[in-house]
Amino acid sequence: MVTIKKFVFNPFSENTYVVFDENNTAVIIDPGMYYSAEEKIIDDFLSNNELELKAIIHTHSHLDHMFGTAHLAEKYQLSPYLFEKDFETYKNFERVCEMYGIPIRKKPTENLQSIDLNKELVFGQVNFKVRHVPGHAPGHIVLINNATNSVINGDCLFYESIGRTDLPGGNHNLLLDSIRKELFTLPKETKVYCGHGPETFIGHEMVNNPFLNY
């Protein structure tokens, strides 16, 4: 059995996900913990549930999805997984924080593991198929978990909305095409875990998303 637990962190109300199996193998996707109290929430959750953290995975590397990366990488001695087309954005973390006037608490590790689109990410019973869905960010990927019939899709698709495309590397038409090609080809009953806001379903968005139905 695989369980997905959502936490909402930082001033951007970003969704961080802990995914774990019945043997206590866990991964964290898009760690958005900015404050030390938020880091403690994750540490306590892992500890209290006797979970062994095996991986940090980024759907993309916008700052609100990686505030907690430095803490996790240091504490659990892990190198984050990221698709290489988003490496440049990841490495600009400090500059982007300065641009937004956000104090940098910890500098994220430069040791990264590149995601291979042709290989599943496998950690115990926690398995993800990976698809590249650019448009919000150049290297944005989504993580499909068949055990839970779900996709953790970062900032591509939201409940009756889509990710913003006015940031560097964004492309509105590319995002729409990517969603139709890589997400709308999933089963309609697939649950969508979003980077912000509530969950939705592929079938619901195919019918009701105003950005994709015109």
List beta partners, residue 57: 29, 81
The whole-number pLDDT of residue 93 equals 92
**Model confidence over 27-74: pLDDT tens digits?**
999 999 999 999 999 999 999 999 999 999 999 999 999 999 999 999
Q: Could you give the CA distance from residue 140 to residue 117 in angstroms, rounded to a whole number? A: 11
Q: Average of pLDDT values for 178-197?
A: 98
> Which of 77-86, 103-112, 172-181, 191-200 shows the lowest per-residue confidence on average (mean pLDDT)?
103-112
Taking alpha carbons only, the member of 65, 10, 14, 75 closest to residue 43 is 75
Taking alpha carbons only, the member of 129, 66, 58, 74 closest to residue 92 is 66
**Model confidence over 133-179: pLDDT tens digits?**
999 999 999 999 999 999 999 999 999 999 999 988 999 999 999 99
Task: Kindly compute the dihedral angle of the four CA atoms of residues 189, 193, 198, 203, in this order, to the nearest 10 degrees.
Answer: -20
The whole-number pLDDT of residue 214 equals 55
The whole-number pLDDT of residue 139 equals 97
How many Å separate Cα 94 from the centre of its chain?
19
- Radius of gyration of the CA atoms of the chain, in A: 16
Domains, the chain, ranges and CATH? 2-208 (3.60.15.10)
| Backbone φ, ψ for residue 26 (5° rounding) | -135, 150
Q: Is 199 exposed, middle or buried (0-12, 13-18, 19+ CB in 10 A)?
A: middle
